[in-house]
């Protein structure tokens, strides 16, 4: 006779099913966390200093728009890109999803070592 306590059977089959269910749930949770972390935009220390020195401000909603632009650029194979957003120019490493440096749009004269430019709306 198999005893059940709170819906959990004492048989090895029931224990395996519970373990399998927990394992698949953990895998789904991990996948979601990994996907979210890969979508996040990082800002380098240098870029933070540049943003602060130039009184440029990025909110979470701004980072969401920038992240979408980075995803589009990544799909097209871009590596280092100039992102023109609001009143600023941001140089970003698309593959690492990292803003490397920031400048006011009026400071942009010549930009080198990029393979793409994106106007972010």
Q: Is the pLDDT of residue 120 over 80?
A: yes
Per-residue pLDDT tens over the stretch 6-59: 444 455 555 555 555 556 666 667 565 545 555 689 999 999 999 999 999 999
Per-residue pLDDT tens over the stretch 85-96: 999 999 999 999
SS3 80: strand
* Confidence tier at 121 by pLDDT (50, 70, 90): confident
Domain ranges of the chain: 4-37, 41-120
- Asked if 48 and 54 touch (Cβ cutoff 8 Å), the reply is no
- Asked if 93 and 80 touch (Cβ cutoff 8 Å), the reply is yes
């Amino acid at each position: 006779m198999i005893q059940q306590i709170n819906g959990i059977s004492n048989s090895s089959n029931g224990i395996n099913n519970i373990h399998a269910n927990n394992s698949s749930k953990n895998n789904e949770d991990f996948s979601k966390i990994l996907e979210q972390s890969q979508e996040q935009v990082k800002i380098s220390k240098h870029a933070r200093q540049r943003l602060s020195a130039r009184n440029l401000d990025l909110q979470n909603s701004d980072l969401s728009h920038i992240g979408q632009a980075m995803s589009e650029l990544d799909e097209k194979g871009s590596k280092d890109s100039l992102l023109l957003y609001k009143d600023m120019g941001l140089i970003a490493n698309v593959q690492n999803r990292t803003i490397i440096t920031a400048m006011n749009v009026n400071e942009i004269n010549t930009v080198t070592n990029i393979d793409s430019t994106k106007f972010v709306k």
